[in-house]
A and B are shown apart, each in its own frame.
Chain A
Amino acid sequence: MMAEVSTTPWTLFIILCTLLPAVSACASYAGFSQLSLWVFLAIALSFFVVALRKSASDNSLMWLVFCFSLSLIFSSTFLSSNLPGGNDIVEEYRLFLQISQTHHWVSPPFAQVTGSLYGSVISITVLPTVIATVTGLAGLTVFTIVIPLLYSITPVILYKIYRTILSPRDAFLSAIMFMSYPVFYTTLLGVAREMIAQVLLVILIALMLSSRASALASIILTFGLVISHYSLAFVYIGIVMFSFLIGRITRSRIETPIRSAMLAVVATIAWFAFVGGGATLVTLTQAMSRVLSGIGSNFFGGPRPTEVMAAIGAVQGQQGILHTVNKATQYVVQIFLVLGFAVLAFKRRKTLGERRILPLMTFAMAFLVASVALPFLAATLNLPRIYNISLLFLAPCLVIGVESLEQFRKLKTFQYPFTWRLRFHFPTKQVVVAVILCSYLLFTSGWAWSVSMDRIPTSPIFDSSRMRNSTDITLKSEYFTVFITTPDIAAARWISQHQRPDHVICSDVVAQDDVLTAYGEYPSGGSGTVLPYCNPNSYVYLGEFNTAYGYYRYATAQQAIVTPGSRYQIPEMLTPYDRIFSGDAAIYCGVTE
């Protein structure tokens, strides 16, 4: 039998998809948001091309997953040549700068790490230092390009994991489901340690599910995961312990990963109790006791995430047909995920792959339900990131859920042949999933709101100029939170070099947490006092946002909120004569006793 010759349109499609990451990077770098809109639309429409194709090889589908993953990531990473603001990456970068200047990582004592847990994390302290030292790349490039590039292989490994239970096309659509949730290409790019840890976690899971597992590789990767990120180390412990318990309870003949579980527990406790200063374990126990006390004292009244409140209708959402379609899409995705999980869990004859992956899915579903149901849990752990981690395992449930519905339809066809019969061959399941995913990507990315010129733009990828030029000060503030501007960086660097030791810096909370941390190298939230309450002997740091619009930002427990306040009223004695640094950002040395 001769090998099949690949058809030209399919080859052409793959070549075009190969070009997408470059187009996406150029569009973002040049600030050409119209092109970014086309890139996202092309990605969304390509789901249908794959769904309608009868057969496709694993290699071509994995390549497509990689191309889409890169395109989505590049659409965010190339938006600015500076660090993205409003995320952990600024503090991570500051710690990296410390290590690269002193050349030594020192086990942080307990007192120093209670404020910042990241000192005990090797993936953002030692690893970038080694990369920058050997390659000669700037630290900023390591954080904004190299680490996201490494992270872009995660969906490809997930495809391999999903292939143990799904067909190639279904595995492709499941990997797309994981990528479509915007945390993958927005929030997580601002958390370098989690990007590294997620890569290690999915490789570990792929090894765990594989029959070719190597004990040595598992040991090395487990240790790597532990020193890369405390939260994912705890999640991994939960996964392996849960898998072990499920294996014992159900007496399944699947190899129980007890060695992995014990190794993960011992390595985590050893690292974070002795080497990491113990602060991480203290934070974990504090969070757990907070959740437990919330269950006992204020279960129904305790805080729940905004997303959950919106989902149950407790928070008034925006009106309009597009918002209704968006809401419907979100419900459909959640319903199919739950349905797919239930179908798999109650399936009578499971394949070996399904029996292996089910404990992981059960853990992820339990984790997700707990974060929604238990007060304080989501607020402590950050719901979007929990959802992103859960999707690592739950993404295939979407396809399984739709498939179960299709089987239900077949049953109906048998009973009512005249109303349900289809007249032509049509890959219903894949097309339905593609429709859902297309809609999901376009809504959650902010594409739909950008194209429809919605009143409230949500995406820095598509709407950065609209956000900056908006008359709404909250949107302007959001822009200046996400984008750290060059004048702000210049001012932060200047003050860090010229500051007198007896003076502290007074700035608004966002500047203190972002630009002064990353570029002034002050500890996050520890550079001084917060506007408008400047202490005596303060320098007043006013960023571009403060000087141009006369507003400062202050923080609540949830997020930075803009509140009006003229810069000349902040400390009333500020005058142009006190200005010691000028530019779009300014520094005053006017608050003295």
Chain B
Amino acid sequence: MIGETTASGILAKSGLKGNKPDLETHALEYLENGPILVRELHHELGKQTRVDAWDVTKMVLRLVEQGRAELTDAPPAAKSFKEYLGMWDENLWLYFSVGITSISFLASLWVSTNSLLVAFRWIAGCALVLFAPGYVIVEALFPNKAKLDQVMRCALSIGLSLVLVMIVGLLLSYTAEGITMIPTITALTVLMAGLVSVALVRKYRHLTA
């Protein structure tokens, strides 16, 4: 977080040429309104000019070195679990997982293979079987997004989902009902509920640590 500072005097001191004074000027204008996260600063600056996160980070560090801004740790983003659940951008994975599981559960039960809506069942079912379980495990194992890039997250999600679904099917085949519709979709829903709970706790702990 960048501490409060005044814009006057800083502009007079800067004397840089080219794009840098513009970027810094804009940044300092935002700082006049109070502390702001570096990520949010990048977002705000991005509205006016095309700039990448690395440039903003370098600029902030430069301002801190020059004593024109202050950098401190951000407070925990959520004070309670309830508040955490309401954080939209942190919980997209949660909404996706719950949404896909619910849609697939309902579609499997109510959309027959002859129905016009069967395409929804195909898509939601494929997402549930081939992606969602692994995706939730990856979120639980790597709560820090920076630790694993998107492609590897996606690949791991698919790989882990395949294995989990095979194990679930294997266990189901030893039950009296076997691999039939209701036991299968129920088992997958229960699995998802368990995995989502674990992932939720781990991500919340990571965020508040």
Q: Which residues of A contact B (CB under 8 A)?
A: 1-3, 5, 62, 99-100, 102-106, 122-123, 126-127, 129-131, 133-137, 146, 150, 153, 156-157, 160, 196, 199-200, 203-204, 206-207, 210, 212, 214, 216-217, 220-221, 223-224, 227-228
Contacts and interface: CB of A to CB of B under 8 A. Distances in A.
Contacts of B141: 214, 216-217
A133 B126 contact: no
Contacts of A196: 162
Given A62-B151, A203-B156, A122 B125 contact: no
Contacts of A220: 137, 160, 163-164
B158 A134 contact: no
Contacts, number: 152
B82 interface: no
Contact of B152 (A134, A135, A210): A210
A483 B111 CA distance: 33
A127 B162 contact: yes
A153 to B, nearest CB: 6
Contacts of B125: 131, 134-137
A433 B142 CA distance: 37
Contacts of B122: 135-137
B173 interface: yes
B169 A130 contact: yes
A133 B181 contact: yes
A132 to B, nearest CB: 9
Contact of B113 (A5, A105, A136, A203): A136
20 contacts: A1-B51, A2-B51, A3-B50, A62-B151, A103-B173, A103-B179, A126-B169, A127-B165, A130-B169, A136-B113, A137-B126, A150-B130, A150-B158, A156-B155, A157-B151, A160-B152, A203-B155, A204-B159, A221-B163, A227-B166
A131 B130 contact: yes
Is chain A's binding surface mostly helix, strand, loop or mixed?
Answer: helix
3 closest A-B pairs by CB = A224-B163, A103-B178, A135-B125
Contact of A2 (B49, B155, B179): B49
Nearest to A136: B113
A492 B113 CA distance: 25
Contact of B128 (A5, A134, A204): A134
A216 B156 CA distance: 12
Interface residues of B, number: 53
Nearest to B20: A1
B121 A136 contact: yes
Interface string B163-192: 111111110111001111100110010000
Contact of B104 (A102, A134, A157, A221): A134
Nearest to A219: B163
Which of B122, B158, B162, B165 has the largest number of chain A CB atoms within 10 A? B162
Given A2-B19, A136-B111, A104 B173 contact: yes
A212 B147 contact: yes
A1 B55 contact: yes
Given A2-B49, A103-B173, A135-B121, A212 B151 contact: no
A126 B179 contact: yes
A100 B160 CA distance: 23
B166 A224 contact: yes
A214 B179 contact: no
Nearest to B58: A1
Contacts of B159: 199-200, 203-204, 221, 224
Contacts of B29: none
Contacts of B142: 212, 214
A157 B184 CA distance: 30
Nearest to B55: A1
Contacts of B52: 3
Contacts of B128: 134
Contacts of A203: 155-156, 158-159
A271 B142 CA distance: 30
B19 A1 contact: yes
B32 to A, nearest CB: 24
B71 interface: no
Contact of B166 (A5, A62, A122, A156): A122
A134 B129 contact: yes
Nearest to B115: A136
Interface string B130-154: 1000000110011000011001101
The residue in B111, B129, B147, B154 that gathers the most chain A C-beta atoms within 10 A of its C-beta is: B129
Interface string B7-36: 000000000000100000000000000000
Nearest to B148: A212
A206 B158 CA distance: 14
B166 A127 contact: yes
Contact of B129 (A1, A130, A160): A130
Nearest to A220: B163
A216, A220, A223, A228 interface centre (most CB from chain B within 10 Å): A220
Contacts of A105: 169-170, 173, 179
B30 to A, nearest CB: 18
Given A104-B173, A130-B169, A216-B137, 8 more contacts: A122-B166, A126-B173, A127-B165, A134-B108, A135-B122, A150-B162, A203-B158, A217-B138
Given A2-B51, A206-B152, A133 B168 contact: no
B133 to A, nearest CB: 10
B179 A104 contact: yes
B18 to A, nearest CB: 9
A207 to B, nearest CB: 8
Contacts of A133: 179-181, 184-185
A2 B163 contact: no
A572 to B, nearest CB: 47
Contacts of A137: 122, 125-126
B94 interface: no
B118 interface: yes
A160 B163 contact: no
A134 B168 CA distance: 13
Contacts of A199: 158-159, 162
A206 B166 contact: no
A122 B171 CA distance: 12
B111 to A, nearest CB: 7
A130 B179 CA distance: 7
A70 to B, nearest CB: 15
A228 to B, nearest CB: 7
Contacts of A62: 151
B130 A206 contact: no
Nearest to A275: B170
